[in-house]
Chain A
Amino acid sequence: MSIDLSQFHQVFFEESFEGLDIMESSLLALDLTEVDAETINTIFRAAHSIKGGAGTFGFMQVSSFTHVVETLLDEIRAGDRGIEQDHVDLFLQCVDCLRGLMSDLQAGSEPDMTQADDLKIKFEAILAGGEVIAEDNDEAGTQTGNSDISHASPDDSGEKGWKIEFIPCEDVLCTGNEPYRMFRELQELAEEGEGKGLEVIPHLERLPDFSSMHPEMCYMSWTIIVRADIELSEIEEIFEWVVDDCDIRYQRLSECDLSTLEVHQAVGSTAEVAEVEVEATVALATKNKEVDKITAAAPVVSEKIEKALEKVAVKKAPKVEKKAAAKPAENTSIRVSIDKIDGLINMVGELVITQSMLGQLGQEFDVSRLQSLQEGLSQLEQNTRELQESVMKIRMLPISFAFSRFPRLVRDLSKQLDKEVELVMLGENTELDKTVMEKIGDPLVHLVRNSLDHGLESVQNRTDNGKSRAGTITLNAYHHGGNIVIEVKDDGAGLNKERIRKKAIEKGIIGEDEHLTDSQIYDLIFQAGFSTADVVSDVSGRGVGMDVVRRNIAELNGSIDVSSKDGEGSTFSIRLPLTLAILDGQLVRVGEEVYIFPLVSIVESIQLEKSMLNNITGNQFVMQLRNEYVPIVSLQDIFNIDGEKKDLEGAMLVVVEGDTEKVGIVVDELLGQQQVVIKSLEQNYEKVDSISGATILGDGTVALIVDISGLNNKSSENKSEDQTQAA
């Protein structure tokens, strides 16, 4: 009993969240016209293990709530009850509710039970309505039966309580189940109710000869009498882990004719025999002694044990709470398939072999062995690269993790908007870095909501235009080069160019006589404050969305494009780097320092000519680049790097594009391009303006990575400062 269960909480929560995901997806996959028993079973199993786990860890709110859910599921599973749309909706609400409860518990706060209680009442209403179908041994049947009795005649039922025949299979102890634990829980139950406690009568008929007795086997069985006004379901819960391989029979005390005298006799005689057994079996000794004590003087002794245990529990409780408070639920973990780990171990083995080979070579080196040194080094290089790739792979998860929430979202939204939508998901096994995955979720949700709300037409509209009633939204993910591409495609009306244009003119984003290409027009929807929806719904249309989507994606060093065809629908493609840990960089030199620009944000690099330069307001220069004026900033100025000022003319200029705006950055020299591993600067130092991180170059020195969007903001800040100063 001294195991600190809190160390397993994290695992429990993770498994429960997984279980909830499974429940949700299975519920959505349910075809009501033809219910698949296996799907129901899957849902039931998920609910069951959440309930069991919650019970084990003492999250009683969760387990009691899950219990009613499970009861209804069990009836459906047993075929006692058909499943209806209402049920599915209710179950989905439960999944949401449970998720809320779990996150509360994970965060260490007291869960809000109001929603759960509401749902519980609904469930109980459904269950109560089904009493005709389920009778005999079924949980719900007896439960309702029980309430019937207490309603009809609360007084004359005589003795309240249950007689339980508990005949465990012989290897019950080997499966980690401890009868004593169950008795103790029963004892707790009995004390909670108004009854008079617990009696346990052991039966030793099965006890073999001493010579043939196996110390790890349980040969005893018990008759347990619980004298308390409790529900059968509560008792069943206690035996839930052993119910499959034990024979358990329940009988209402008022219905059984076992006289009190008989019980006491039984206690007396069996206790003696039990003592013999205690002497005989060493392994069983401690456990059975405890059982003995209960049998001999069940109420008194076990009460004492109970109190002692309670004390321990009280002592322990505050400690656990403290721990939970100190450690917020931040530590996320990742599940890695064993194949990947095995691969890694192999590779590390290879690496060690190469290392020892090189070491040996180094000890007795002469020029004649140069050849083998080179071979060794190239082997080392290969090993390192493979190792790097496999380590990166550990962080990779299939994108179905991000996609999995959409069936539910689309289902709820289409109901809300009264549209018929079919969701198609392709390339769900495409792998993506975990961090990227977490950050791409919200933008994707936004895009899907947008497609549903604005993209797809109403059913009426669609049928008028000769399209199928149900619109289709396709989510597709695939690898392309070193990137992953995620597409959100709808077969709706497509983007309305005229309306976007009009809106943009209205909002003053473009001039009235500006001529824009199609893609330039589509690009307008990513401007802040832009929305073409005539009616602002609570789904979308406030125009705060697409610019945020683009910014989020830019933060991941990705980009988003849109293409559209009138009447055929539109496609949003998000292009993301596979991982955040490695970046394609352009090395530049400023003064004596080397900086790295992310290659994705570089538009072009040019040498400045005098004709391109224009001077505005003193020291601010702009450059005419084709049709645009691009402000020029010097990295030397922004970063306050020592060194002599150079003339802008003839200087090397890197034109970068951060969020939206282009900026020309003056550098001293362009060096090579290479993949760099991003290291955190914040870990030991702190966030530095305009620097997104650091990396280590081939020669072991540190180079800083320039944060282009930060730089953009900074240059515009500078500008506004200049303006205020001028004013």
Chain B
Amino acid sequence: MTNAAQQKSNDAVSGTGSDDEQQYLTFIMAGEEYGVDILAVQEIRGWEPTTVIPNAPEYIKGVINLRGTIVPIMDLRSRFSLERVEYSPVTVVIILKVETERGERVMGIVVDAVSDVHSISDSDTRNSPELIEDLNTEFIRSLVSVDDNMIILLDVQRLLTIDRQVIDQAVDVVADTDSDKE
């Protein structure tokens, strides 16, 4: 899987690589194609059982041992409020790595399947329509069409760091309702 992606990325580099183009790794989830900046992808692995973290949000499946580093695994379907599916041997975990103010952060996301590597120029992307003020749309950076297919480009940084806020918000909500009771 990694090799195939590597191969394709090489093709893309030698083919249409120009300065303002960025490469995106795309993956399939519930029939839609999503893309993440390929530079944020550390590796692609098969699904393996995780160690559950107590009282974690539903979409955090737990942590795995990635060569000595403890890496949390997020179920992207559950994060995006999509229907759950059973994990199978072909379920894929994409390990993402981003720089945050707290240092490097590594996290895995569970997706249905890895699809392709595309070179996409920034000028071709369109902002997503702001229809609904929804948490899930916050992760979407932009939309782009490649060969008549729409690809949703995700903001990896947000995807990996936002849970802190979400949890805080959740706590706030709980605290509010608590105080309401009193």
Contacts and interface: CB of A to CB of B under 8 A. Distances in A.
Contacts, number: 66
Contacts of B49: 701
A684 interface: yes
B54 A638 contact: yes
B140 interface: no
A688 B70 contact: no
B72 interface: yes
Interface string B30-54: 0000000000000000000111111
A532 B68 CA distance: 50
Nearest to B54: A639
B54 A702 contact: no
Contacts of A641: 52, 54
Interface stretch (A37-45, A98-106, A689-697): A689-697
Given A683-B70, A684-B72, A696-B68, A702 B51 contact: yes
Nearest to B52: A593
Interface string A614-638: 0000000000000000000000001
Contacts of B51: 593, 694, 701-704
A696 B65 contact: yes
Given A684-B72, A684-B105, A686-B164, A701 B65 contact: yes
Interface string A678-690: 0111011110111
Interface residues of B, number: 25
Given A686-B164, A694-B63, A696-B65, A640 B106 contact: no
B64 A702 contact: yes
A704 B167 CA distance: 20
| SS of B interface (majority) | strand
A681 B55 CA distance: 14
Given A683-B103, A696-B65, A702 B55 contact: no
- On chain A, which size bracket covers the interface? 20 to 34
A640 B54 contact: yes
B118 to A, nearest CB: 28
Contacts of B164: 686
A701 B105 CA distance: 20
A700 interface: yes
Q: Count chain A CB atoms within 10 A of each CB in B49, B55, B64, B163 and give the residue with the most.
A: B55
Contact of A684 (B50, B62, B107, B167): B107
Contacts of A639: 54-55
Q: Count chain B CB atoms within 10 A of each CB in A639, A684, A694 and give the residue with the most.
A: A684
Contacts of A694: 51, 63, 70
B4 interface: no
Nearest to B72: A685
A600 B39 CA distance: 44
Contacts of B65: 696, 700-702
A640 B55 contact: yes
Nearest to A636: B54
B81 interface: no
A43 to B, nearest CB: 40
A680 B103 CA distance: 13
Q: Count chain A CB atoms within 10 A of each CB in B56, B163, B167 and give the residue with the most.
A: B56
A681 B63 contact: yes
Contacts of B68: 679, 696
A704 B105 contact: no
A690 B60 CA distance: 17
B5 interface: no
Nearest to B182: A724
Nearest 3 CB-CB pairs, A to B? A639-B54, A702-B51, A685-B72
Interface of A: 593, 638-641, 679-681, 683-686, 688-691, 694, 696, 700-704
7 contacts: A684-B105, A684-B107, A689-B54, A691-B54, A694-B70, A700-B65, A701-B49
Given A683-B70, A685-B53, 4 more contacts: A679-B70, A685-B107, A688-B55, A701-B51
